[in-house]
Structure 1
Amino acid sequence: MSDSVSDCTETRTVVTEAEVEALVRGICFKTGPPRTVGVEVEWLVHEPREPRRPVTTERLEAAYAALRTVPLRSALTIEPGGQLELSSPPAASLMECIGTVSADLAAVRAVLREDGLALLGVGSDPWNPPRRFLQERRYDAMERCLDRTGPAGRAMMCTSASVQVCLDAGYEEPGPLGHGRRWWLAHQLGAVLVAAFAHSPLAGGVPTGWRSTRQRLWMEIGAGRAGGPLPEGDPRDAWARHVLDSPVMCVRREAGPWEVPERLTFREWTRSAAPPTRGDLDYHISTLFPPVRPRGHLELRMIDAQPGDDGWRVPLAVATALFDDPAAAETAYRAVKPLAERALALPAPHNPLWIAAAREALGDPELHEAARICFAAAVEALPRLGATTELTDAVRAYQDRHVVPGRTPADELLDRLRDGEPHPYGKDPRT
């Protein structure tokens, strides 16, 4: 959500339906050899000594004001509920990306520490209900729109956090690194990544029955907002149709509240008496939240935020290896191909495969087997991508601790609760 357009001051140059289709095909899939990698890491901000207690608006405002004075290479943005996000610049290698974000996170943590605050990596807030921190017109409109499908929208806006991996779309030609194969792979392997890195089993301090409650929230928002097209055929055609036929979240205004139409697709808007502008198109695309979103590159948006200071590196490394190393990409393709039968011609994340990934995680036998194969391929591929021994060992340690036995960080958190630890992320302020 941090990539949303904040105002509507661009020139009123309208776009036609045909122009929209051509623009989407051109701007959302920039094909070519995979060369760059990026990551967006989101965090909850909490008080380590009293992590259940919400941080006050005044403390967050003071902390973020201090952070804005810190020189960072990554873009620092704040999400509607006060979550912090760092978005790396495109990096020429996996290790360059990790080096940049690690340095920026160290600087951010140092500033937060002075205010008695820290970053918490978990897919959704385990204790607190949604609370808006940012009071802006675009989030007012987003809230009104998402409220129509129930409470999941507010929870997604204000309590969720993720690791989003950004990879190039791929070659124009077929093959393991071709954009068609990578688009298809992202939608099948995405379910494996949901399962392997599930880390949000709680809401209101109690188990939800889902290993990734964050992914459940996205599903409950509905297919029009959080779904995507089926990964068949030319991905450019499929995405262009999806953009045109998806509902418009809001119509931006120069002054006053933004309009939130009841039922208006972008295609219908282009055919209206007051058609949209190119800026409206860019904003509309930013309000679509499928698990795989093409933005010139591919955004993999399905991974829960991970525990620990450096836990985010593991999903970044695994995804990069399975997409950008040709041998690992071929192994991953073969491993997940049998899973495609469980999609039942329904787009992610609303098909049975993705639901099982979010609910059961690696407790699902087929997802567990695919994860075992994919992690082994990633560990083998990482040195070929220039990964350090330390990073490869971190992925191997995750493989041994979680993937091989079929357990995720969510399972460990649930174990601590069953063992009687009432507050697994720190001291319980009620005691």
Structure 2
Amino acid sequence: MSDTQSDGGDCTEHRTAVTEAEVEALVRGICFKTGPPRTLGVELEWLVHSLELPQLPVSPERLEAAYTALRAVPLGSALTVEPGGQLELSSPPAASLMECVDTVSADLDTVRSVLAKDGLGLAGIGHDPWHTPRRFLHEPRYDAMETCLDRTGPAGRHMMCTTASVQVCVDAGHEEPGPLGHARRWWLAHQLGAVLVAAFANSPLRGGRPTGWQSTRQLTWTEIGAGRAGAPPLDGEPRTAWARHVLDSPVMCVRRENGPWEVPDGLTFREWTRSRSPRPPTRADLDYHLTTLFPPVRPRGHLELRMIDAQPGEDGWLVPLAVTAALFDDPEAAERAYRTVKPLAERALNRPAPHNPLWVDAARFGLADPELREAADTCFAVALEALPRLGATARVTDAVAAFRDRHVARGRCPADDLLDRLTATDPPRSGPAGGARTAYGRKDIRT
């Protein structure tokens, strides 16, 4: 969840009220910037734990001291902090896969070095296996978000405070049809997205115990509801579908310069433009509204693929980045990926992601699902053929090949490794944090 956003500044354009028609035109114009795919980016979220006792919560004071130290060091990527204290690195747009890899790798080395001085480390897990949601950031935005999301149950607090992901950003694509056309890439992102959920599922635990889902993080997003975390239908033109979705999605909050922000119940942006109450919406309100929608694929000029769990190991994040880049930006690989996942669309039953059977099965079963395993096996083979054409080094191709051999070829995902460690020990017993002590020892979690 990378949603730190300015309030639109003092620009008169941003403070001028907008009509329904103006909103539709603005969304169509700003959310799909089409052209030849040239850039790539990645946003990495990490849970931050004590290296010595990862099952114990890190105090807010300790986190703040560590983050203050991090802000003093130069990084090529943007560093932000999520509501629960998760750390996020967002790469600048890169002209190639290896430029992106090199920038983020150097930044991660720096971040790990600074954190280690305070006995802290980064954990690549999609959902915190121990801790209940606890908010680190107390700001009007997150106060309003919590109030809004609490109306649909506890999933919102888990999403805000205990989840982490790898978000891959690819260009929207050409206006012209074909494997690199924006309509094809929009469709591919939603169908291939289920394969990425299954292959990289890495969050089977909550409260130290299995949830029955390989990606509890994806389950959490599903539970938030379609209005906030769902995709639009895929049977129409992407710009039109997304603009309609933006207008018909509920407003999270009406911001105030002074005092708590108002959190309306059920007010859509379309209704706000028509009623102009409690005050007329502005361009800045629209910009902000776009950051409060959390679909699995979010168009922000480029396409932000948000469905991948955070990955274990120092280089685990390389694999989803490389595979996604290959399947989107190499024309031959994109066409083969499209043909591979097209039969899976029948299982979606024409229902938007992630609230359809295909995505639910991907999150629940991972690659134990035979069709998803077959699709993942083909997609990884295609990606490995394409990566040298994208200039990938042996470090990247070896990481992808190792993941394929360890997981995809065996119908497994990283969540299976976590569950193996859990079942290899005695049943959970009470731990010092009042939760469950699991097989996640100091060595295992330090990723």
TM-score (norm 2): 0.94
Aligned residue number for residue 341 of structure 2: 336
- 1:120 matched to 2:123? The reply is yes
- 1:81 matched to 2:118? The reply is no
C-alpha distance in structure 2 between counterparts of 1:81 and 1:354, whole Å: 26
Secondary structure (helix, strand or coil) at the match of 1:271 reads helix
Aligned residue number for residue 426 of structure 1: 442
Aligned residue number for residue 178 of structure 1: 181
- 5+ residue gaps, structure 1, are none
C-alpha distance in structure 2 between counterparts of 1:381 and 1:9, whole Å: 43
- 1:397 matched to 2:402? The reply is yes
Of residues 263, 275, 290, the one that matches 1:260 is 263
C-alpha distance in structure 2 between counterparts of 1:342 and 1:2, whole Å: 30
Further displaced range: 267-276 or 191-200: 267-276
**1:252 partner letter:** R
**1:331 partner letter:** R
When residues 169 and 424 of structure 1 are mapped into structure 2, their CA distance, relative to the original with a 3 A threshold, is same
- 1:346 matched to 2:362? The reply is no
Following superposition, the deviation at residue 111 of structure 1 comes to 0.5
Given that 1:4 and 1:283 are in contact with CA atoms closer than 8 Å, whether structure 2 keeps it comes out as no
- 1:378 matched to 2:383? The reply is yes
Aligned residue number for residue 145 of structure 1: 148
Per-residue CA distance 1:116-159 (angstroms, 9 max, x = gap): 10000000100100000001000000000000000000000000
Per-residue CA distance 1:218-267 (angstroms, 9 max, x = gap): 00000000001012221000000000000000000001000000111001
Secondary structure (helix, strand or coil) at the match of 2:156 reads helix
**2:235 partner letter:** E
- 1:359 matched to 2:360? The reply is no
Q: CA RMSD in A?
A: 1.3
**1:304 partner letter:** D
Of residues 156, 161, 166, the one that matches 1:163 is 166
When residues 156 and 389 of structure 1 are mapped into structure 2, their CA distance, relative to the original with a 3 A threshold, is same
**Pairing of 1:267-306 with structure 2 (within 5 A):** 267-273=270-276, 274-306=279-311
Given that 1:126 and 1:200 are in contact with CA atoms closer than 8 Å, whether structure 2 keeps it comes out as yes
C-alpha distance in structure 2 between counterparts of 1:220 and 1:7, whole Å: 28
Following superposition, the deviation at residue 427 of structure 1 comes to 6.9
- 1:3 matched to 2:3? The reply is yes
Aligned residue number for residue 235 of structure 2: 232
C-alpha distance in structure 2 between counterparts of 1:228 and 1:408, whole Å: 25
Given that 1:8 and 1:254 are in contact with CA atoms closer than 8 Å, whether structure 2 keeps it comes out as no
Per-residue CA distance 1:63-85 (angstroms, 9 max, x = gap): 00000101111000000000000
Secondary structure (helix, strand or coil) at the match of 1:250 reads coil
**Pairing of 1:13-32 with structure 2 (within 5 A):** 13-32=16-35
Following superposition, the deviation at residue 275 of structure 1 comes to 2.1
Identity %, equivalent residues: 77
Given that 1:8 and 1:252 are in contact with CA atoms closer than 8 Å, whether structure 2 keeps it comes out as no
**2:5 partner letter:** V
Secondary structure (helix, strand or coil) at the match of 2:167 reads strand
C-alpha distance in structure 2 between counterparts of 1:393 and 1:420, whole Å: 31
Equivalenced residue count is: 429
Per-residue CA distance 1:392-418 (angstroms, 9 max, x = gap): 111011001100110011001101111
